[in-house]
Structure 1
Amino acid sequence: MSDDSGLWLLAAGPAGATALYWALYRYYRNTDKSHAFERETAVEAKPVTGSDRKVDTVTGTQDKRIRGDNVREYRARVRRDSG
């Protein structure tokens, strides 16, 4: 009597699971069809434009609050949407 007749059935489980995993991985990842941004996209760098203009200076302040804040006026901060 030979015990090799059922051995292929035991090997079919892990082999089938591996094949199914690989097929689903290839189907959802599409690694062979995906866009390779680093290789296929040309990025042209341009010089930075703008200006460095000083707006305001605050030094040595001792204020505990910011002028004009609306922390305690929650009805002014949160308005009901009319639309």
Structure 2
Amino acid sequence: MSDDSGLWLLSLGPAGAAGLYWALYRFYRNTDKSHAFEHETAVEAKPVTGSDHKINEIKGTQQTRINGDNVRAYRKRVRRLRRRDPG
């Protein structure tokens, strides 16, 4: 036997890693089984409807906050869950 007899054992590491990567990629991606929405679905576009009406305009505001915000009042924003009695 030569000194290269254990070389096959060292090649199992990268080959096994590549095989595991390929198997996991195929399992989670399912590219051969997935639905190709862009090719298999007909989408009919319709003209855009609606209108643009200006309702309000604010110019030159210097306010850095919104009136009535509750950023600092965390007890009003977050409610504590109440435990139900099992009985």
Please state which band the TM-score falls in when normalised by the shorter chain: 0.5 to 0.7
Cα distance in structure 2, aligned partners of 1:41 and 1:14: 41
Aligned length: 73
Q: Which runs of 5+ in 1 are unaligned?
A: 72-77
Residue 11 (structure 1) aligns with: 11
Q: For the structure 1 residues 17 and 64, does the alpha-carbon distance in structure 2 shift closer, same or farther, using more than 3 Å as the test?
A: closer
Q: State, as a whole percentage, how many aligned pairs show the same letter.
A: 70
Query: After the TM superposition, which segments of 4 or more aligned residues of structure 1 sit over 4 Å from their partners?
Result: 52-56, 61-65
Cα distance in structure 2, aligned partners of 1:24 and 1:64: 55
Q: What's the TM-score once normalised by structure 2's chain length?
A: 0.58
CA deviations over 1:8-29 (Å, ceiling 9, x no partner): 1000011001100110011001
Residue 49 (structure 2) aligns with: 49
Q: For the structure 1 residues 8 and 46, does the alpha-carbon distance in structure 2 shift closer, same or farther, using more than 3 Å as the test?
A: same
CA RMSD, 1 decimal: 3.3
CA deviations over 1:28-65 (Å, ceiling 9, x no partner): 01111111121111110112222445556x58x78888
Larger of the two Rg values belongs to structure: 1
Q: Does 1:33 align with 2:33?
A: yes
Q: Which runs of 5+ in 2 are unaligned?
A: 70-75, 80-87
Q: Map residues 54-65 of structure 1 onto 2, 5 A cutoff.
A: 55=55
